[in-house]
């Protein structure tokens, strides 16, 4: 138990050992105030000629110096200075014991210096600068002086966004001007400007921004005077009134209001009633107590053209919320006041006639006392929106007249209905789909029955009223054939637990588990359906595992096992096993040979359990070697679910007699923080480790968490789990930013002398014959690109980067990846702080512009839709629409039709030189289409490759086909590749060829496409350079070209540590080519391709890739070698572009599956290389 801090006689705490630096400064001020500091800095004796009074004062001050120090330290440190009564000696003793001078303390101080961050909500810029100055002084006292450049950089390193323009200005200062004093001066000036601007903003909100509606002040005063019986006095100043006095009982009387003081003609209540309908639209939103015929809806906004700001009374709807102090809103009647407690942004989903539309309201005022939410018409006008009025509808459009959303009139108000876009953690009820994931993807109808029957604890707040019971991961992982048995119901024949158990051994797993296991036996009790599984490395362990199971359950239940049913596997049928069962009197039941359905309970569990494991791995993104962890997690939750045969009771309740709880269940694969005990860390190490939840502890309470850095599974009860984040995506995700180097070629240093003529206007009279010698490269020199690359290499090597040997534009450094294409650079990092530090270091060397996350790079758009990133070239295609706007437009459904007859290539000198042919930009259009096909549109790769072979001899018929391809691109420009749709990191390539398809020269066509997970990352359709003598040879040539790329990509990804541990897969639809690559055969028909054969054979022997046969109907590369019919072509496009349906003129489908941000980096790697 910690003791409370000792009270101090001073205004600062006593010295406790950890606050020496601040204590020293505070004690120094106290000693100076008491006139004792001179005894610390120099110990001068009392002069001999001093009087008695002076000697007494000297001794008194010297003693007071010691007593002051004595009173300022905690009691446990008093023994250090008790042996002395001299203040200076006591000061030096404390300095020796507590002043930090070690290297460890120096490292801590330097780390604290660079962690300093300006917090505008808690301090001013001046205080922040002083904190930096204090920390610099502490580091200096510890034995190290921080350079001036680093001090200045630290002042501007982590400033808020409103200081960005000032930071850019400071970076341009000369070296001699860039010091911390100048930076501090500029920061203080900028802070004053920002503070003044904020003050004006708050004043504007107080006086003007909250006025809704408009009434003249004089009219308001006049109405008020009339109600009180006052009349205008001409003798007074304009606007002033005087009270009229009446004799007692003789004043006017109001018949409408039944009150004295005014008559009915001046009664404000009568006037309000008469004008109620006319003024309803102006006063119904004023926040007063009247209601004008429209009921309040919690999820509505009113559009008010007189309001100068947006208003909302729901605090939970806000994001980026900032509190405001002493701010009030003046409403329409100029008297009602509503308090404004903050300002922020709101994301609102409008339920429009054309679907849901998301709008973001900026700078919304939080007014909890208002009864209406308001959207300001003036703010919409400032934002560039247009309002179009029609019958009972207010249409809001963009500045280009593009429709946005509508507001509908109810009575005299225009209302926008919808719901706020809130974080899921703000809802009190639990989503059924979340429980479905927590229980390892058990059936949703089963969960609903458990909720109704209250089978377990923890399902009280589950919302079961949902329409969609479909889970994508379950559909992928649990797909089955249609059952041929209708209405089959199993009837339980046992009457108690342990009357019979069913056993089976699951086949060897294709991948060993984390512990090296390959098998698992399942033991299921027939009556309760209690499941026990054990992971084994070999079949010989089954017997020992069963004996352990039998001893445990018989002792646990106090009952004897009566019967065991197994199949005829040798692990159950050997003599020792049978003898053991007979000696215990346990009946042995065997199934008939080749009749697994007789052991259906165990067989069915093996199937359903592996379906669940496959689904869990698919949903979480974990590798297959985690199958054992997923199996144990599934069994843990399955035993806590009810069954149809158990009449609403769970397995655990039947087995043990008590109702289980699932409150501890969490989603498999979630992000987890494991507490580190004090004995396993020091004071400066983190108190938790980040991992991935993979199950529940076996013999103790707690969770099982996989720690990627330590590559082990730990069990702990002190775990914090974040189900809103996927552990794989969080731990292995990447942050990235795109930067552009200004004037890149001007940084290169020339290694040879180069002279240049004087530019126009630089010549000096009398020196016109002089020339310039260049010391730096400039734009226009042939070697400028090479010199820039050399200079960039030196900078990156100095920052610790290593250049990839296979790709010169790829640089790596621990958890950072950097991609370079001339002056376009994309930086990836797993840590946001590392990313910011790296960009700051690059800024010191180069003048760069930060462009944020990649959105447009080298003619390709990267669009984020929800959690997914899509790749397309809509920007470039729109430019082609403008460039080729005069070309004819046709409705095209295929880039190249089946049976399309292409005329022979015409020699260039035989082309009819007509005026029409000279105006046709055939080669230009082929180049534009090739740019699209090679980057984002594999569906047109074959057509463009075919038509590019006629560039030196084309006819008008060729031109019409190319125009049709362009029209197809215009029509299908919504096709996008979802580069985030990946569930694994395995490379898969499909290869195909079309033998002798070129009728004029009998050359074949090769095609291949490679997928990273589910994302196509490279593809090609090309004419083979040699004439193949057989279809096998044509397939083998295509296969060889595919091998080159799959090996190159796999080596790059292995160096980046971003690839699956499994070998890349290559699929070919020719059995002859597949067997020829694998078998060591030789004959006269294949001798001429011997070199390529040896190349592929050597890579297969080295297990660089895995070659498999695939049926032609399933070959994904088929569309790259030949035209396909519409149905087959569209089926392939669905896979490539990840759509539910791709039809003629249909809208583009965007995948809503979860994203692994790792794949964004992979897609950019392939794109820039």
Model confidence over 22-50: pLDDT tens digits? 788 888 888 888 888 888 887 778 887 78
Q: Which CATH class is domain 433-467+491-664?
A: alpha beta
Helix/strand/coil for 712:
strand
Check pLDDT > 70 for residue 471.
yes
Q: pLDDT tens-digit profile of 383-414? A: 888 888 887 889 899 888 888 999 988 878 88
Check pLDDT > 70 for residue 227.
no
Check pLDDT > 60 for residue 225.
no
Antiparallel, parallel or unpaired: β 374-376 and 300-304: parallel
pLDDT tier, 1055 (very low <50, low <70, confident <90, very high otherwise): confident
CA distances 356 to 405, 466, 723, 913, Å, are 9, 19, 27, 57
Check pLDDT > 80 for residue 541.
yes
The pTM score is: 0.45
CA angle (525 as vertex; 521, 531 as ends), nearest 5: 50
Residues 433 and 469: their CA atoms lie apart, in Å, by 8
Helix/strand/coil for 1041:
helix
- Which of 708, 765, 697 minimizes the C-alpha distance to 731? 708
Predicted pLDDT of residue 101 = 62
Same fold, 734-854 and 981-1142: no
Q: Identify the weakest region by mean pLDDT among 324-333, 356-365, 962-971.
A: 324-333
Q: pLDDT tens-digit profile of 850-883? A: 888 888 888 888 887 766 788 888 888 888 888 8
Antiparallel, parallel or unpaired: β 670-675 and 688-696: antiparallel
What average pLDDT does the segment 10-22 reach? 79
Predicted pLDDT of residue 636 = 92
- Which of 1063, 1072, 1064, 1071 minimizes the C-alpha distance to 1110? 1071
With beta carbons less than 8 A apart as the criterion, state whether 792 and 825 touch.
no
What average pLDDT does the segment 47-71 reach? 85
Q: pLDDT tens-digit profile of 989-1004? A: 898 888 766 656 778 8
Q: Could you write out the DSSP letters of every residue in 1076-1118?
A: HHHS----TTTGGGHHHHHHHHHHHHTTSSEEEE--GGG-TTG
Predicted pLDDT of residue 1145 = 41
Tokens read off for 1032: 């096998």
Residues 86 and 70: their CA atoms lie apart, in Å, by 11
Residues 298 and 856: their CA atoms lie apart, in Å, by 40
Q: Which numeric CATH code is attached to 981-1142?
A: 3.30.420.10
Check pLDDT > 60 for residue 1139.
no
Predicted pLDDT of residue 732 = 58
Residue 448 CB contacts under 8 Å (≥ 6 apart), including other chains: 432, 464
- Which of 650, 196, 186 minimizes the C-alpha distance to 454? 650
| Higher pLDDT pick, 222 / 367 | 367
Angle between helical axes of 922-933 and 956-971 (0-180°, round to 10): 40
Check pLDDT > 90 for residue 772.
no
Q: Could you write out the DSSP letters of every residue in 677-688?
A: PGGGS-TTS-SE
Check pLDDT > 50 for residue 229.
no
Residues 987 and 1016: their CA atoms lie apart, in Å, by 10
Predicted pLDDT of residue 564 = 93
Predicted pLDDT of residue 733 = 63
pLDDT tier, 523 (very low <50, low <70, confident <90, very high otherwise): very high
> Residue 640, Cβ neighbours under 10 Å: how many?
23
Check pLDDT > 60 for residue 1150.
no
Check pLDDT > 70 for residue 451.
yes
Alpha helices in 807-912 (DSSP H): 832-845, 874-883
Residues 638 and 877: their CA atoms lie apart, in Å, by 53
Alpha helices in 884-1028 (DSSP H): 915-919, 922-933, 941-947, 956-971
Check pLDDT > 70 for residue 556.
yes
With beta carbons less than 8 A apart as the criterion, state whether 1005 and 1121 touch.
yes
Q: pLDDT tens-digit profile of 1068-1109? A: 888 777 777 777 666 655 656 656 656 777 787 777 888 888
Work out the mean pLDDT of the chain and round it to a whole number: 77
Residues 364 and 342: their CA atoms lie apart, in Å, by 8
Tokens read off for 576: 């020792």
CA distances 106 to 101, 142, 143, 1127, Å, are 7, 6, 8, 71
Helix/strand/coil for 860:
strand
- Which of 704, 734, 735, 708 minimizes the C-alpha distance to 721? 704
Tokens read off for 796: 């990156």
Cα torsion for 278, 284, 286, 288, to the nearest 10°? Answer: 110
Residues 815 and 312: their CA atoms lie apart, in Å, by 44
CA angle (916 as vertex; 913, 920 as ends), nearest 5: 100
Residues 1067 and 149: their CA atoms lie apart, in Å, by 58
Check pLDDT > 50 for residue 919.
yes
Q: Which numeric CATH code is attached to 734-854?
A: 3.30.70
Please report which helix (H) or strand (E) contains residue 232, including its range: strand 230-232
| Higher pLDDT pick, 337 / 305 | 305
Distance of CA 401 to the CA centre of its chain: 33
Residues 989 and 1007: their CA atoms lie apart, in Å, by 11
Q: pLDDT tens-digit profile of 682-735? A: 888 889 998 999 999 988 889 999 998 788 899 999 999 888 766 665 555 677
For the chain, the maximum distance between any two Cα atoms, rounded to a whole number of angstroms, is 135
- Which of 739, 847, 841, 852 minimizes the C-alpha distance to 153? 841
Check pLDDT > 50 for residue 245.
no
> Residue 774, Cβ neighbours under 10 Å: how many?
14
What average pLDDT does the segment 436-462 reach? 79
Q: Identify the weakest region by mean pLDDT among 32-46, 766-780, 931-945, 1146-1160.
A: 1146-1160
Domain residue spans of the chain = 19-98, 103-191, 300-420, 433-467+491-664, 669-729, 734-854, 887-976, 981-1142
Q: Which CATH class is domain 300-420?
A: mainly beta
| Higher pLDDT pick, 157 / 294 | 157
| Higher pLDDT pick, 1150 / 227 | 227
Q: pLDDT tens-digit profile of 199-216? A: 655 544 444 433 333 333
């Amino acid at each position: 138990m910690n003791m409370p801090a000792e009270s101090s006689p001073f205004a600062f705490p006593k010295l406790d050992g950890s606050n020496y630096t601040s204590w020293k400064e505070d004690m120094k001020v106290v000693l100076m105030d008491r006139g004792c500091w001179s005894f610390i800095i120099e110990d001068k004796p009392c002069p001999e000629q001093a009087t008695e009074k002076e000697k007494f004062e000297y001794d008194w001050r010297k003693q007071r110096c010691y007593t002051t120090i004595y009173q300022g330290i905690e009691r446990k440190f008093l023994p250090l200075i008790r042996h002395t009564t001299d203040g200076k000696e006591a000061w030096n003793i404390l300095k020796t014991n507590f002043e930090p001078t070690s290297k460890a303390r120096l490292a801590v101080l330097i780390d604290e210096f660079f962690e300093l961050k300006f917090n505008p909500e808690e301090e001013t810029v001046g205080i922040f600068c002083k904190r930096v100055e204090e920390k610099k002084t502490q580091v200096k006292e510890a034995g190290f002086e921080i350079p001036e450049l680093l001090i200045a950089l630290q002042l501007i390193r982590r400033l808020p966004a409103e200081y960005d323009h000032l930071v850019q200005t400071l970076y341009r200062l000369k070296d001699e001007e860039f010091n911390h004093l100048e930076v501090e001066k500029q920061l203080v000036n900028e802070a004053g400007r920002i503070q003044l601007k904020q003050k004006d903003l708050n004043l504007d909100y107080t006086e003007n921004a909250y006025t809704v509606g408009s009434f003249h002040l004089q009219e308001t005063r006049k109405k008020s005077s009339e109600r009180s019986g006052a009349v205008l006095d001409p003798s007074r100043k304009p606007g002033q009134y005087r009270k009229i006095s009446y004799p007692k009982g003789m004043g006017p009387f109001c018949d409408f209001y039944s009150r004295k003081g005014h008559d009915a003609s001046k009664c404000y209540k009568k006037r309000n009633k008469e004008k109620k309908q006319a003024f309803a639209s102006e006063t119904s939103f004023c926040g007063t107590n009247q209601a004008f015929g429209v009921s309040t809806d919690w999820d509505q906004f009113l559009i008010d053209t007189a309001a100068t700001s947006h208003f909302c009374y729901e605090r939970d709807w806000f994001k980026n919320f900032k509190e405001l102090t002493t701010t009030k809103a003046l409403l329409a009647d100029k008297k009602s006041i509503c308090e404004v407690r903050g300002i922020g942004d709101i994301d609102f989903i409008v339920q429009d006639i054309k679907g849901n539309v998301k709008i973001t309201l900026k700078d919304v005022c939080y007014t909890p006392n208002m009864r209406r939410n308001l959207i300001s018409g003036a703010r919409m006008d400032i934002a560039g929106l247009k309002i179009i009025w029609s019958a009972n509808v207010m249409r809001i459009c963009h500045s280009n007249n593009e429709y946005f959303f509508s507001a509908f009139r109810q009575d005299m108000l225009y209302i926008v209905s919808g719901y706020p876009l809130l974080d899921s953690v703000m809802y009190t009820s639990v989503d059924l789909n979340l429980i479905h994931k927590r229980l390892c993807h058990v059936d949703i109808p089963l969960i609903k029955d458990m909720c109704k029957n209250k089978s377990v604890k923890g399902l009280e707040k589950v919302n079961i009223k949902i329409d969609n019971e479909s889970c994508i991961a379950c559909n992928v992982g649990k797909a089955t054939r249609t059952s041929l048995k209708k209405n089959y119901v199993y009837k339980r024949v046992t009457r108690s637990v342990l009357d019979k158990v069913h056993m089976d051994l699951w086949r060897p797993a294709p991948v060993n588990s984390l512990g090296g296991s390959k098998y698992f036996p399942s033991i299921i009790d027939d009556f309760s359906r209690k499941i026990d599984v054990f992971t084994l490395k070999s079949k010989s362990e089954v017997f020992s595992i069963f004996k352990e199971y039998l001893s445990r359950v018989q002792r646990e239940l106090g009952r004897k096992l009566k019967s065991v049913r197994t199949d005829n596997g040798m692990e159950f049928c050997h003599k020792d096993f049978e003898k053991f069962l007979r000696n215990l009197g346990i009946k042995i039941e065997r199934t008939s040979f080749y009749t697994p359905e007789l052991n259906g309970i165990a067989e069915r569990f093996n199937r359903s359990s592996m379906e669940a494991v496959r689904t869990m791995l698919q949903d979480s993104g974990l590798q297959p070697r985690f199958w054992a962890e997923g199996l144990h997690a599934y069994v843990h939750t399955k035993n806590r679910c009810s069954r149809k045969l158990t009449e609403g009771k769970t397995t655990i309740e039947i087995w043990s007699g008590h109702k289980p709880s699932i409150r501890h269940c969490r989603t498999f694969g979630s992000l987890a923080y494991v507490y580190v005990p004090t004995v396993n860390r020091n004071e400066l190490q983190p108190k938790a480790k980040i991992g991935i939840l993979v199950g529940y502890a076996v013999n103790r309470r707690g969770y099982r968490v996989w720690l990627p850095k330590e590559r082990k599974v730990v069990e702990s009860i002190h775990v914090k789990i974040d189900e809103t984040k996927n552990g794989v995506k969080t731990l292995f995700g990447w942050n990235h930013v795109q930067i552009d180097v200004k004037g890149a070629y001007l940084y290169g240093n020339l290694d040879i002398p180069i002279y240049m003529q004087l530019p126009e206007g630089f010549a000096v009279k009398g020196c016109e014959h002089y020339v310039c010698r260049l010391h730096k490269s400039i734009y226009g020199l042939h070697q400028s690109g090479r010199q820039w690359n050399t200079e960039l290499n030196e900078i990156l090597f100095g920052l610790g980067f290593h250049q990839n040997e296979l790709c010169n534009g790829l640089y790596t450094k621990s958890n950072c990846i950097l991609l370079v294409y001339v002056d376009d650079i994309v930086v990836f990092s797993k840590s946001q702080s590392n990313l910011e530090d790296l960009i700051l270091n690059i800024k010191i060397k180069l003048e760069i512009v930060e462009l944020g996350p990649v959105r447009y790079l080298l003619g390709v758009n990267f669009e984020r839709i929800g959690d997914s990133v899509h790749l397309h070239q809509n920007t470039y295609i729109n430019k082609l629409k403008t460039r080729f706007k005069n070309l004819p437009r046709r409705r095209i459904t295929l880039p190249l039709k089946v049976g399309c007859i292409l005329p022979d290539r015409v020699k260039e000198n035989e082309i009819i030189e007509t005026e029409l042919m000279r105006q046709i930009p055939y080669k230009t259009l082929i180049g534009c289409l090739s740019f699209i096909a090679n980057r984002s549109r594999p569906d047109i790769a074959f057509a463009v490759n075919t038509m590019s072979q006629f560039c030196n001899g084309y006819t008008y018929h060729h031109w019409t086909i190319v125009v049709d391809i362009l029209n197809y691109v215009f029509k299908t420009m919504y096709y996008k590749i979802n580069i985030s749709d990946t569930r694994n990191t395995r490379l898969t390539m499909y290869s195909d060829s079309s033998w002798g398809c070129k009728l004029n020269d009998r050359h074949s066509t090769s095609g291949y496409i490679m997928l990273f997970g589910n994302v196509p990352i490279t593809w090609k359709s090309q004419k083979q350079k040699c004439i193949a003598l057989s279809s096998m040879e044509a397939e083998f040539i295509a296969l060889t070209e595919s091998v080159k790329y799959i090996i190159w990509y796999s080596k790059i990804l292995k160096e980046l540590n971003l690839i699956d541990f499994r070998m890349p897969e290559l699929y070919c639809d020719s059995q002859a080519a597949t067997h020829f690559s694998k078998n060591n055969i030789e004959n006269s028909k294949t001798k001429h391709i011997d070199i390529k054969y040896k190349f592929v054979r050597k890579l297969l022997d080295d297990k660089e890739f895995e070659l498999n046969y695939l049926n032609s109907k399933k070959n994904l590369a088929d569309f790259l070698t030949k035209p396909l019919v519409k149905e087959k072509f569209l089926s392939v496009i669905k896979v490539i572009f990840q759509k539910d349906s791709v039809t003629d003129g249909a809208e583009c489908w965007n995948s809503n599956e979860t994203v692994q941000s790792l794949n964004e980096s992979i897609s950019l790697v392939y794109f820039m290389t």
